[in-house]
Amino acid sequence: MGAAGVSSVQPVVPLGGGALEAAVPGAVVGAGPGISAPPPVGPEDLVSRTVHGDSLLRRIGRGALRPFVPADDVQALAEHGRWIQHPVTTGRRIAVTSMRGGAGKSTVAALVASAYARYRQDRVLALDLDPELGSLPLRLGIRAGHTLADVVAAEPGTCSFDEVEPYLAHLGERLWGLPGTHGTPGDGPDAEVYRTAGIPLSRFFGVTVTDCGAGILTELHRAVLEAAHAQVMVAPTTPGGAASVGRALDWMTANGLAGLVARTVVVFTVHSPHTAQVIDLAKAARILAEVGVGVVRLGYDRHVAVGSTLDPALLAYSTRVTAIAIAAEALRRAAGG
């Protein structure tokens, strides 16, 4: 991926589709007196075994070939590293969008936010704005807690970070997360809550990665995109996915968001190891490059496909490398926005 844009990149992340997110209810239908309800069960409790993103054979082969990595690959990784660590004077907001559910948007948001947190020296926020029980909390292992609507009471535009931190889920040394709902569909934030709390909250973080709900036409989407410094648009690697990207970019151009188009990276995702590539990504990249849009392909990853909380140690090597590439390219575009 060159510094001027991403026209082609190694395969990466498989986007696992929707995962179980509901806990077992606290009461059992038909249970008689004295019968206690079972304890809550999270999605990770249903996973029968851990699955590494790479097969054993691939891991062995990669270890044997590691001393012979082409110089161009090393240079590309070094360039990505420089951009992912790029200093910012004010917090950068990166919106992660998709035109339909199941494209892998929340997975990409989790991977990108984690990449920033690992390689940057400032704070990173993963903000879930999906009003319909989005998967970002699941992917990052966030348990139920406060939401962005709760942060309004802290007055994030004038308070200190110490005052707002209790509302956030601390996920690591430099990564914080904030769910979109309390676990009830439809109780997520609206555009006014985002403008009142979401934008001011981002001032405490070097980078804020916002996982939006599917689509781009609602008032909330409009508020997020108008305030975004860059956009990562996620679509499946299918003709329909490519067509939805084209329609979305055309809509943005016609509705006052043309400036964000050139600050967009499109991530085409592969969901199954048995699905052959049915669109010409090189051709799609050339077409999108004409309007300044970068393109990255995220390939299948067995660990991601499980659909539960992501474990960085179990991700495929190509998934980790491509997540870094997406994060670097998005920040490169955001730095100029």
The CA distance from 292 to 175, in Å, is: 30
pLDDT of 209 reads 98
Q: Is residue 137 part of a domain?
A: yes
Q: Is residue 31 part of a domain?
A: no
pLDDT of 201 reads 97
Band of residue 55 on the pLDDT scale cut at 50, 70, 90: low
Residue linked to tokens 């990173």: 124
pLDDT of 7 above 60: no
Contact 16, 305 (CB under 8 A): yes
Band of residue 336 on the pLDDT scale cut at 50, 70, 90: confident
For residue 199, report the phi and psi dihedrals to the nearest 5 degrees: -65, -50
Least confident of 53-62, 123-132, 174-183, 243-252: 53-62
pLDDT of 308 reads 87
Q: Is residue 254 part of a domain?
A: yes
Q: Six-digit token pair at 210? A: 């916002």
Q: Is residue 1 part of a domain?
A: no
Nearest to 306, CA basis, from 102, 97, 51, 125 = 51
| Sheet containing 230-236, strands listed edge to edge, beginning at the edge strand earlier in sequence | 169-170, 175-178, 124-129, 207-212, 92-98, 230-236, 264-269, 294-298
Q: Six-digit token pair at 158? A: 């004038």
Q: Is residue 206 part of a domain?
A: yes
pLDDT of 216 reads 93
Expressed as residue numbers, the domain containing 271 is 51-62+71-78+91-335
The CA distance from 247 to 7, in Å, is: 20
The CA distance from 334 to 337, in Å, is: 5
Band of residue 14 on the pLDDT scale cut at 50, 70, 90: very low
The more confidently predicted of residues 210 and 57 is: 210
Q: Is residue 3 part of a domain?
A: no
pLDDT of 46 reads 47
Q: Distances from the Cα of 121 to the Cαs of 81, 88, 309, in angstroms?
A: 13, 11, 24
CATH number at residue 228: 3.40.50.300
Band of residue 280 on the pLDDT scale cut at 50, 70, 90: confident
Secondary structure class of 184 (helix, strand, coil): coil
The CA distance from 97 to 105, in Å, is: 6
Domain count, the chain: 1
In tens, the pLDDT along 104-158 reads 999 999 999 999 999 999 999 999 998 877 889 999 999 878 999 999 999 999 9
Secondary structure class of 315 (helix, strand, coil): coil
Q: Is residue 10 part of a domain?
A: no
Contact 278, 238 (CB under 8 A): yes
The more confidently predicted of residues 219 and 11 is: 219
In tens, the pLDDT along 294-323 reads 999 999 999 999 888 999 889 998 899 999
C-alpha atoms less than 13 angstroms from C-alpha of 35 in its C-beta half-sphere:
7
pLDDT of 59 reads 47
Q: Is residue 21 part of a domain?
A: no
pLDDT of 224 above 50: yes
The CA distance from 145 to 150, in Å, is: 10
Nearest to 265, CA basis, from 242, 299, 292 = 292
Structure pTM? Answer: 0.80
* Tally of CB atoms within 10 A around 129: 29
